[in-house]
Amino acid sequence: MKALLLRFPATAYVAPFAVFVVLLGLRGYWPFGPAIEYPLRTVLTLGTLLAASGALLQFKTSRPWSSVALGVLVFVVWVGPDVVWPHYREHWLFRNSLLGTSGTPLRAAPLDDTFFLIFRVLGSCLLVPVIEEFFWRGWLMRWLIRKDFLAEPLGSYVPSAFWITAILFASEHGPYWDVGLAAGLLYNWWMVRTRSLADCILAHAVTNACLAAYVLSAGKWQYWL
């Protein structure tokens, strides 16, 4: 693994996210249900993260309270349109053959299974923010500026890289592309402002933690894509 990382340094930033996306794409093809599939996906992604990205797992934030505040703001942006306009997401822009719908993706999941929900919350709040920030703002936003991305400082601002990263981040969120775009722009801005992956990870983790609390307390399962 060390030789691979020396030859292909992007592996540390890309591999955990790639494994997560591939396993997500295989959802529904496993011979077992979500009660096993999601914990297994979480464990395999975590294993990849520890093996490939262990040297990057140093979380020293520069603006912790501001990062927390930004995370809460992104959560408000994420759920705000649906709270203010209950039928907002029924518009064709968010319900079509390309994007799918904002229906409940966990319909077949055991929502009364405590073990499953623990893994779902921990995966969403602790694992996903790390692998996504490593990929989107740790690697892609720099790689779009310079192929030798390690020579480009974190938080470097070039408009094309900034917007392409935000748009691709939005596309990852399907029918929630609009708030995904807003979140991507805010996280990108925070990376430029702080030049710190740790601060972006913290903000992202706070957003996901608030969303998890909202999902569990209000039964808004559609937010767990």
Q: 49-103: per-residue pLDDT in tens?
A: 999 998 889 889 999 999 999 999 999 999 999 999 988 888 878 887 676 665 5
Residue 206 C-beta-side C-alpha neighbours within 13 Å: 20
The whole model's pTM is what? 0.93
Asked if the structure places residue 125 within a domain, the reply is yes
Asked if the structure places residue 175 within a domain, the reply is yes
Asked if the structure places residue 32 within a domain, the reply is no
Q: What is the pLDDT of residue 5?
A: 57
Asked if the structure places residue 33 within a domain, the reply is no
Asked if the structure places residue 43 within a domain, the reply is no
Asked if the structure places residue 53 within a domain, the reply is no
Extract the tokens encoding 223.
């937010």
Q: 136-185: per-residue pLDDT in tens?
A: 999 999 999 999 999 999 999 999 999 999 999 999 998 999 999 999 99
Q: How many domains does the chain have?
A: 1
Asked if the structure places residue 154 within a domain, the reply is yes
Asked if the structure places residue 30 within a domain, the reply is no
**CA–CA separation, 20 and 23 (whole Å):** 5
Q: What is the pLDDT of residue 100?
A: 63
Average of per-residue pLDDT across 115-130: 93
CB 185 within 8 A of CB 192: no
Q: Which domain holds residue 122?
A: 65-223
